[in-house]
Chains A and B, each alone.
Chain A
């Protein structure tokens, strides 16, 4: 404790360590053990020593140094290799024991026994002296904590070291034994033996010596120790390990003693002279003494086991008692149960044991019984009684004792059984007879011999077997009775028994001399002891086990047979394995050469043939070519000539195996193949059934047995032939496969190149083939697509408008079911990326070469962008409807595929009426717009922007002007989706525009006319004025010329007229009010006009024809109308009447809402080419002959006609006719 305290107080300062200690208090134990032990505590990885005890330095052999020097000194002093070892062990193990060598001085080295225990990061090591000059060999085996009793003994047989256990066992304190001689502790009787055994322990090679001896303990008792002694390498010390076998020994002794007792029973008095009672008595006494029990009794079972009755009792004190006490079963149920159900009952504490409690209180108390041992006695199967051994002191029954008593019970039963029979009881008195009868009653063969081997007794069974009488057999020895070989054995066995005093058991052959019947017997022979325990002979018992033995022999024979069969099977299996391996090897080769290589290599190396070659038929020629060769030593044939030479031999052996010697050898030699002694050549065909694909040629020594070899090689050849055959097929197959694969790749690359997604489904609707575009569009890899079907809910298929798509509506399903194609089916699916896509699907059935449909192929394109854009457009269009704009969408060919509702409002057409038409043809335009319509159509088809305005009629035939604005729409990849056309009703706008134009024109015209007026008038006035001036000048110069005055007068009148005309013209510029216009009957006007010209008509002699329907009325101002026709008629009369022609025709006819009046004359005519423009202009005069006009007439007429909303034309041919056509508005 002191030591431990010291450690603790030191370590207490080191908290870490203290904590560690708290975890593992076994350290304390470790520390506490042993005085004279030094301690070191060090960290596992460091050289630094945390602490060393003072005792350590004692043990170490030096005074305690300064702490700083601890580690250094340790290292210096401990031998280098041991130092390393210690460090290593500490790292690797949790606990270990070992020896360290420490330098005392340069010459002197001593050993320390060490052991350590790890705790956390620290190791606590303890060191103890173990004497001098011990080698490492011990160190390994040395352990302080072993349960073995260990000592190290020096040459003088003194204890150098004793381990704890040994000290303890012998009862000595540590160190007390050191220096003492081991001999003094040995039992006298054992001393000699051991000294002898250990004598050469230190001089001869170190084999362990095992001995057993009794060793005296400190208290004087002896214990049995089994020693195992080994010397060390230097032979200066020995390692003694002992095992305490005292207990075992004691057991042995007890057993021996009991056995002896059993054996000696046969010598008990009473047995020999058949005095049964005596025998029993002595038996009982013997047992009681041997078992050291106080009471020993025999109780017999009553009938039906209802109870037990005491037959006799031996009480050590009162000797033999015969008593009739009865114990009934019912009274002692537990006990009876126990003994009936068990053969024995060993009870240590009878009073408390349940089974014997029944007797507590009376029987047990009366006789003061503490422990009992009861054993049943059986005669045959029946239990007849129980033997009871009882003690007054508590007794732990030993196993040997129970056995002993059981044996006694058996003997007892035997003797008891015998005693039942009254006749036999008599014989019992005769010990010899008893014995004999005992022995004879047994079915076994029993005999006795003396020490010389003479028969002293043989039972009836033997006598019968031998056919001798008792007298005849007594005195005979083995040699007399048995054949020599048996007797020798028997003698030897007997010798063994005598020498060793041991029991002999064996199973041996047995037959008497001259007997031909052989028996097998099992024999037990034991020494017979006299009353003093000296051997006086041998008793043998044997019984017939022939049947058993013969069975055993058969069994052995069978085993032999099986073993042979097994060997055969193993051989077969080996062969099969070889073939298997060969086949595998061959099968994995691909080229002919490689296949043949396997065969030639196998021939050479597995079968030790010297040379092997394979020839195979050339693919096009009729010769055989060498494709593989192997030889040992390597000796390949290179020449071509060889192949040629060998052809005949090969041809010969295509069908059957051929063996050649000299002839073939010649060819080989010729080609420089070195042959050994006489060789022969075996040609084996490589056959499949009857066809041969080649030949294997092997060369070997003459002496080799062909048959077996050929058989084995043929098997290999068949395998190779098949493989060759297959490989040819395989090459072809490979070519086909390569072609197929190329086709497949081509096909695949074609469908991959297609921009549309392609998917092929089989008749079960499963996708079998896909292309890249399909993956792209559907957002799934090929692997994800394969195996999916149309019904897969992952698609979430719907129609384009969102309604669910029923499976039978799916285009693939339709095609598969009906065999009919489906085109442009629009649907919406969920892609692998979870987005919705619109696709347009076309499906076609897929048929095989017989025309059977086995699936469908679907091609589809992504129309999502388009659909989405369309939806957007429609959404916008609906908005636009409200503003009255027609919005429609046209496809790539310029046809309308959708229009908003505004079309009905604006143009009066229902959407269905225009779907499929071209936008330019909706409103019916006239030819003037043809070009624009064509341009519009072109722009739509070429997907260009375009604007235009077209005039036409709405459905209700009302005029309209519609502006078109075309905008093509493209998706993100610049692919055309559709065109949007916005149509606006510009009718009002255009009308107003046109009105403006008309007004503008009319204003411009008017301005132009006014300008003309001003010119003409100024000119006309001026010319008249100029004339007047000139005339008046002349008149002044020549006042008498009267003609001048006339001319002045004329001119002034002309001037007056001119001015009047101006007024008229200006009046014509005033626009006429519609309400001034009244219906005028045309006929009546013309008639009136004509009547005004009566004078002129008469004068000219004109013939005027009038064809004017009476009902024709025109809308006009009467004054105008009169003026117009007056002028025309005047002109016609003036210029249209010639000498040749006097005809004037006036016709009128109606056309729609117009009336045309024609005034035709056949007069002078006008050169219309020349004068067309000028005709109706101011100042135009064409006919100089009749020149009193001022050229205003037609101008005025034209103005008048136009003011009435009509127009005037002229058609004339010079010199032929002139027609003036006036068109006016009809009045209904």
Chain B
């Protein structure tokens, strides 16, 4: 089965590394990429990924803005990925319904188990 995973992050290197890890973990999955929230929204109009991995710190539209903009859209499980460990952010993330979890960068096989 072909599964789409949407990566929303402006960090190219992360995208690269994350993609490798994800492909390795979920072979056959499709990696969709959005550089920022705005791009992600556009993408969601056309496509329905099965999983979204969302970064918070992005230019133009960051993660939080994306979440509020996409609130009334049908959304797959969203996991926030972030490089910092800010308890406030964790709290904020857990308050949101769409957000199913919080993952700390970098991604590794262990962290992504069971996402899909």
Interface residues of A, Cβ cutoff 8 Å to B: 1015, 1018-1019, 1022-1023, 1025-1027, 1029-1031, 1033-1034, 1047, 1050-1051, 1179-1184, 1187, 1191
Cβ-defined contact, A1027 with B10, below 8 A: no
- Kindly list chain A residues whose C-beta atoms are within 8 Å of the C-beta of B20: 1034
A1184 to B105, CA, bound (A): 22
A1023 touches B11 (CB 8 A): yes
Alpha-carbon distance between A1051 and B14 when the two chains are bound, in angstroms? 11
Task: Tell whether, in the assembled complex, residue B59 and residue A1027 are in contact, meaning their CB atoms are under 8 Å apart.
Answer: no
B106 near A1026 with CB under 8 A, answer yes
B57 touches A1027 (CB 8 A): no
The verdict on B60 contacting chain A, using a C-beta distance below 8 Å, is yes
Tell me if A1033 and B16 are in contact (CB < 8 A).
no
- Using known A-B contacts A1022-B105, A1179-B57, A1183-B59, determine if residue A1027 contacts B14 with beta carbons closer than 8 Å: yes
Identify the closest chain B residue to A1022 (Cβ): B83
Task: For B81, give the chain A residue with the smallest CB separation.
Answer: A1026
* Inter-chain contact A1033/B108, CB cutoff 8 Å: yes
Candidates A1022, A1031, A1180, A1182; contact of B84 at CB < 8 Å: A1022
| Interface flag for B107 (CB, 8 Å) | yes
Q: Which of B30-73 contact A (CB under 8 A)?
A: 35-36, 57, 59-60
Smallest CB–CB gap between B81 and chain A, Å?
Answer: 9
Specify which of A1023, A1180, A1184, A1191 is in contact with B14 (CB 8 Å cutoff).
A1023
- CB of B13 within 8 A of CB of A1027, answer yes
Q: Assess whether B107 is in contact with A1030, with CB atoms less than 8 Å apart.
A: yes
Residue of B with least CB distance to A1048: B13
A-B contact pairs, 7 of them (CB 8 A): A1026-B105, A1027-B13, A1027-B105, A1029-B106, A1030-B13, A1030-B18, A1184-B59
Q: Which residues of B contact A1015 (CB under 8 A)?
A: 84, 86
Asked if B94 CB lies within 8 Å of chain A CBs, one says: no
Nearest-neighbour CB distance to chain A for B73, whole angstroms, equals 21
Q: CA of A711 to CA of B106 in the docked complex: distance in angstroms?
A: 157
Is there contact, CB below 8 Å, between A1031 and B105? no
A1181 to B38: give the CA distance in the assembly, Å: 14
Asked if A1030 contacts B14 (CB within 8 A), the reply is yes
Query: Complex: how many Å from CA A1183 to CA B108?
Result: 30
- Given contact pairs A1015-B84, A1027-B11, A1051-B13, A1180 touches B59 in the complex (Cβ within 8 A): yes
Contacts of A1034 in B (CB 8 A): 17, 20-21
B14 smallest CB distance to A (angstroms): 6
Closest to B36 in A: A1184
Residues of A within 8 A of B105 (CB): 1022-1023, 1026-1027, 1030
Find chain A residues with CB under 8 A from B59 CB: 1180-1184, 1187, 1191
Known pairs A1181-B59, A1184-B35, A1184-B36; list 7 more (Cβ under 8 Å).
Answer: A1019-B84, A1023-B11, A1023-B14, A1031-B17, A1047-B13, A1182-B59, A1187-B10
Chain B residues near A1187: list those with CB within 8 A.
Answer: 10, 59
Bound-complex Cα distance A1051 to B16 (A): 13
The minimal Cβ–Cβ distance linking B48 to chain A, given in whole angstroms, is 24
A1034 to B19 Cα, complex, angstroms: 11
Known pairs A1018-B84, A1180-B59; A1030 contacts B106 (CB<8 A): yes
Residues in B neighbouring A1191, C-beta threshold 8 A: 59
In the assembled complex, the Cα of A1026 lies from the Cα of B14 at a distance in Å of: 8
Q: Give the complex CA separation of A1027 and B85 in angstroms.
A: 15
Return B93 CB to nearest CB of chain A, in Å. Answer: 15
Give the CA-CA distance A87 to B104 in the complex, in Å. 151
Q: Please, which residues of chain B bring their CB within 8 A of the CB of A1031?
A: 13, 17
The reply to whether A1030 and B17 form a contact with Cβ atoms under 8 Å apart is yes
Nearest B residue to A1050 via CB reads B13
Majority SS at the chain A contact face: helix
Contacts of B16 in A (CB 8 A): 1047
Taking each of A1027, A1047, A1181, which has the highest tally of chain B beta carbons within 10 Å of its own beta carbon? Answer: A1027
Give the distance to chain B from A1054, nearest Cβ to Cβ, in Å.
9
* In the bound complex, CA of A1015 to CA of B11 (Å): 18
A1019→B57 contact, CB < 8 A: yes
| B window 3-26: CB within 8 A of A | 10-11, 13-14, 16-18, 20-21
- Taken together as a complex, chains A and B put the C-alpha atoms of A1029 and B17 apart, in Å, by 10
Residues in A whose Cβ lies below 8 Å from that of B86 = 1015
Nearest chain A CB to B25 CB, angstrom units: 13
Closest to A1033 in B: B108
Q: Which of B87-113 contact A (CB under 8 A)?
A: 104-108
The CA-CA distance from A1015 to B85 in the complex, in Å, is 10
Complex: chain B residue closest to A1031, CB-CB: B17
Min C-beta distance of A1023 to chain B, whole Å: 4
Task: Specify which chain A residues have a CB less than 8 angstroms from the CB of B57 in the assembled complex.
Answer: 1019, 1023, 1179
Residues of A within 8 A of B106 (CB): 1026-1027, 1029-1030, 1033
Distance (Å) between the CB of A88 and the closest chain B CB? 135
* Cα distance, A1030 to B82, chains bound together (Å): 14
Task: Please name all residues of chain A whose beta carbon is closer than 8 Å to the beta carbon of B84 when the two chains form the complex.
Answer: 1015, 1018-1019, 1022-1023
A1021 to chain B: closest residue by CB = B83
Chain A residues with CB below 8 A from B21, complex form:
1030, 1034
With the chains together, A776 CA to B36 CA distance in Å? 92
Contacts of A1179 in B (CB 8 A): 57
Give A926 Cβ to nearest chain B Cβ, in Å. 40
Q: Which residue of B lies closest to A1026 (CB)?
A: B105
Q: Given the complex, which residues of A lie within 8 Å of B13, measured CB to CB?
A: 1027, 1030-1031, 1047, 1050-1051
**Closest partner residue, chain A, to B14 (CB atom):** A1027
CB distance from B69 to the nearest CB of A (A): 13
Output the nearest chain B residue to A1051 by Cβ-Cβ distance. Answer: B13
Report B6 CB to chain A, min CB distance, Å.
17
Q: Are A1019 and B83 in contact (CB-based, < 8 A)?
A: yes
> Which of B13, B14, B21, B60 gathers most chain A CB within 10 Å?
B13
**Assembly CA distance A1033 to B25 (angstroms):** 14
Closest to B86 in A: A1015
User: Once bound together, how far apart are the Cα atoms of A1034 and B109, in whole Å?
Assistant: 11
Taken together as a complex, chains A and B put the C-alpha atoms of A1182 and B60 apart, in Å, by 5
- In Å, the complex CA distance between A1050 and B107 comes to 19
Whether A1026 lies near B83 (C-beta < 8 A) is yes
- Least distance between A529 CB and chain B CB atoms (Å): 187
Out of B18, B83, B108, which one reaches A1023, CB within 8 Å?
B83
6 closest pairs, A vs B, by CB? A1030-B106, A1181-B59, A1030-B17, A1023-B83, A1026-B105, A1022-B83
Shortest distance in angstroms between A842's beta carbon and chain B's nearest beta carbon? 76
Residues of the B chain whose Cβ atoms lie less than 8 Å from the Cβ of A1047: 13, 16
A residues near B104, Cβ cutoff 8 Å:
1026
State A1183–B86 Cα separation when bound (angstroms).
26
Smallest distance from the beta carbon of B37 to chain A beta carbons, Å?
A: 11
Q: How far is the CA of A1023 from the CA of B106 in the complex (A)?
A: 8
Which A residue's beta carbon lies closest to that of B61? A1170
* Bound CA span A1031–B20, Å: 10
Nearest-neighbour CB distance to chain B for A805, whole angstroms, equals: 84
Q: With A and B bound together, what is the CA distance between A1023 and B15 in angstroms?
A: 12
Q: Complex formed: what's the CA distance from A1018 to B107 in Å? A: 18
Instruction: Determine the distance from Cα of A1025 to Cα of B85 in the docked complex, in whole angstroms.
Output: 13
Q: Which residues of B lie under 8 Å from residue A1183 when comparing CB positions?
A: 59
Interface centre among B11, B104, B108 (most CB of A within 10 A): B11
B41 CB → nearest A CB, Å: 14
| Residues in B neighbouring A1182, C-beta threshold 8 A | 59-60
Residues of B within 8 A of A1180 (CB): 59
CB distance from A950 to the nearest CB of B (A): 43
Closest to A1019 in B: B84
Residues of B within 8 A of A1050 (CB): 13
Query: How far is B35's CA from A1183's CA once the two chains are assembled, in angstroms?
Result: 11
Whole-angstrom CA separation of A925 from B36 in the bound complex? 51
Instruction: List B contacts of A1051 (CB < 8 A).
Output: 13
Q: How far is the CA of A1022 from the CA of B17 in the complex (A)?
A: 15
Which residues of the partner chain B approach A1025 to less than 8 Å between Cβ atoms? Answer: 83
Cβ-closest chain A residue relative to B13 = A1027
Which chain A residue has the least Cβ–Cβ distance from B109? Answer: A1033
Tell me, in angstroms, the Cα distance from A1047 to B14 when the chains sit together: 10
> Which residue in chain A gives the minimum CB-CB distance to B18?
A1030
Bound: A1030/B109 CA distance, A: 11
